[in-house]
Structure 1
Amino acid sequence: MDWGQADAVVWRNRALTLFDRVAVPVAVCDVYGQVVLANPAMAAECGTTPGRLRGRDVLELFRPQEATQVERIAEALRLRHRSRYQVSVSWSAPGGAERYGELTADPVSDSTDETPALLVMLRVLGETEPEPAPEPAQVTPAEGAVLALLAGGATTDRAARELGLSRDGVAYHLRRLSARWNASNRTELVARAYALGVLAPGVWPPRVRGSGSE
């Protein structure tokens, strides 16, 4: 290795050290937007590590707000224009908040004839907190018990026997629930009970949320 090569290695190592320590999210991508190198700050925005970002499409990680922006940049890169490009993006932060900001891409290469890589920097402009989950719909204990049995495949007669109700009593609860939720049949009624948070998801036999271990 001659002195020129040695100096290049030294400066490359220094640049990589600086790259890793920069607090701004930065990545190097190829001309197609595939991540070649990312610093810890960029990886943190994606909830992962720099190594796991390698090979990912930067425009899948950060969603462009306008497709026409990306199309104009792609055309400019094909023509080897060397301008600074900006794309408005949004993404889901690791904590669940929806963030929005701006990606700035600068073409970089050793010569004007070489296909450039893209030095991409992310500017975080703000975030929107996720909306809290709605409260489960309110049902009476009898209605909840009927729904749970119905979700488990019980017939009206079986539900009546297990709950100590008459057949007409079970049908009464079903009619009230169907009218309240505008359900046209029992399958839709059960689906709405899960969608509205009345029945606990992922539990068998079905039970009303909060009525036991889930």
Structure 2
Amino acid sequence: MWRNRALPLFDRVSVPVAVCDVHGAVLPANPAMPAECGTIPGRLRGRAVLELFRPREATQVERIAAALRLRHRSRYQVSVCRRAPGGMERHGELTADPVSDTFEETPALPVMLCVLDERAPREAASPVRGAPAGARILALLAGGATMARAARETGRTAAGVTYHLRRLSARWGAANRTELVARAYALGVLSAGAWPPVPAGDE
């Protein structure tokens, strides 16, 4: 029943959306999903969604697989990236919501891709002590910049800035933005003797 209600809406959604089986194989997809992958709709069917979009952290996928085996029904997010034509890396998040008509039925996984930003390969591959983009964002926030200004000055969307902050918070175990900036100084990501704040090595 959920399919009859949801699938007719797919073509009207501008963001990339697909329905996968419980193993992650693509079933139907809206036109935006194959367009994001540089292919046509028929060629996505049966392909593993996590081969199309590479997970950035394997532990995220392992936790989701364990939860699905236990029949937990929740919203799951996986940070992913893929190499776009021209060599740019596109970073984003796949959100999956297990659905079925009954609890006993094996769920399907409608997945939606939110593209957060696009980076040239050299920047994407360079180490962060975090990541260069993350260090620049932290320097701006440490100097009092708003999220909107940090996004504007780093050439990213607000969602892209949030993505970098969330990744660094998880990596460093920071509970909030203040602690995140403090840890950036403690770890030497931001220069301790400069004002306005700058990434270490940029003084």
TM-score normalised by length of structure 2: 0.56
Write out per-residue CA displacement over residues 169-204 of structure 1, whole angstroms, 9 at most, x where no aligned residue.
xxxxxxxxxxxxxxxxxxxxxxxxxxxxxxxxxxxx
Does 1:115 pair with 2:106? yes
C-alpha distance in 2 between matches for 1:95 and 1:66: 24
Q: What is the total number of aligned residue pairs between the two structures?
A: 121
Amino acid paired to 1:35: V
Question: Corresponding residue for 2:16?
Answer: 25
Rg comparison, structure with higher value: 1
Question: Corresponding residue for 1:35?
Answer: 26
C-alpha distance in 2 between matches for 1:50 and 1:96: 23
Does 1:91 pair with 2:82? yes
Structure 1 stretch displaced more, 105-114 or 91-100: 91-100
Shift of 1:68: 0.5
Give the direction of change, closer, same or farther, for the CA distance of 1:45–1:126 in structure 2 (3 Å limit): same
Question: Match of 2:65, SS?
Answer: helix
Structure 1 gaps of 5+ residues are 1-7, 132-214
Shift of 1:21: 2.1
Write out per-residue CA displacement over residues 17-40 of structure 1, whole angstroms, 9 at most, x where no aligned residue.
320121011000000000011111
Question: Corresponding residue for 2:43?
Answer: 52
C-alpha distance in 2 between matches for 1:48 and 1:79: 34
Question: Corresponding residue for 1:61?
Answer: 52
Give the direction of change, closer, same or farther, for the CA distance of 1:15–1:70 in structure 2 (3 Å limit): closer
Does 1:80 pair with 2:80? no
Shift of 1:95: 4.3
C-alpha distance in 2 between matches for 1:92 and 1:53: 17
1:124 to 115, 132, 135: 115
Amino acid paired to 2:61: V
Write out per-residue CA displacement over residues 114-171 of structure 1, whole angstroms, 9 at most, x where no aligned residue.
010101000000001346xxxxxxxxxxxxxxxxxxxxxxxxxxxxxxxxxxxxxxxx
Give the direction of change, closer, same or farther, for the CA distance of 1:15–1:77 in structure 2 (3 Å limit): closer
Question: Match of 1:21, SS?
Answer: coil
Give the direction of change, closer, same or farther, for the CA distance of 1:31–1:23 in structure 2 (3 Å limit): same
Question: Corresponding residue for 2:134?
Answer: none
Amino acid paired to 2:48: D
Question: Match of 1:80, SS?
Answer: coil
CA contact (8 A) 1:29 1:119 kept: yes
Amino acid paired to 1:86: Q
Question: Match of 1:27, SS?
Answer: strand
Percent of paired sites with the same residue: 77
Write out per-residue CA displacement over residues 46-104 of structure 1, whole angstroms, 9 at most, x where no aligned residue.
00111110000000000001000000000000110000000000001234321001000
Amino acid paired to 2:37: C
Question: Corresponding residue for 2:94?
Answer: 103
TM-score normalised by length of structure 1: 0.54
C-alpha distance in 2 between matches for 1:65 and 1:79: 24
C-alpha distance in 1 between matches for 2:7 and 2:71: 26
